[in-house]
Amino acid sequence: MSARILVVEDEKKVASFIKRGLEEEGFVVELAADGEEGLSLATEKKFDVVLMDLMLPKRDGLEVIREMRQRDILTPVLCLTAKDTVEDIVSGLDSGSDDYLTKPFAFAELLARVRALLRRGSQDRGAELTYADLRLDPVTHKVWRSDKEIDLTAKEYALLEYFMRNAEQVLTRTMIAEHVWDYTFDSFTNIIDVYVNYLRKKIDRDYDVKLIHTVRGVGYVLRKGD
């Protein structure tokens, strides 16, 4: 069965270009021209990936993504944006999106990002993960520490899941970039550091035993103690 993709884009030429290209690759594509229509479709129908422009009429893309996550709509979202600073990227990812792509972009890159999100979404999520007093449910995307539920964004959750599936193994920034973001380039390092810090504040700040540790000059590791 072909994957279903929702494209929320108000520029008709861009939307048409994306729709035609994805349909040629065998995907089923629906279009929404503003944020309200995009949220309505994402809520009412089942999609495998959402492509979300950020500058939209009626409701902006970040607001729509946040609303989707509040409604427990976990469909992977790829942001399409003309902004490419670290702050802009973090803002987009922190809203609950899974990836971003800066305009203008080559269709081949868009297609690669879509396929990466589909692969990630189709993986067997399996049984609950535990490490020390940390617990993660891959089905509901909920996380607890010492039975206290911890609210994570989509990207913080993906990062923690990668740590927990590789507990006590040192993970380099390159490994994290490739497995959590599907990127390989060095300039993404700052984004990784920002998100590890976000995760630390939520996972470790209120607890005596710290679990996320920096391995200086190498990367990070999930382990008990210093």
CA–CA dist 20, 190 (Å, integer)? 35
Instruction: Give the percent of the chain with pLDDT over 90.
Output: 40
Report the top-level CATH class of 4-122.
alpha beta
Token couple for 168: 């006590």
Which token pair is 75?
């469909």
Q: Give the pLDDT confidence of 77-107 residue by residue, as tens digits.
A: 898 888 766 676 777 676 777 888 888 888 9
- So where are the chain's domains? 4-122, 129-222
pLDDT in tens, 165-198: 899 999 988 888 877 776 555 555 678 888 899 9
What is the pLDDT, as a whole number, of residue 200? 94
Q: Are strands 129-131 and 77-81 parallel, antiparallel or unpaired?
A: unpaired
Query: Fold for domain 129-222?
Result: Arc Repressor Mutant, subunit A (1.10.10)
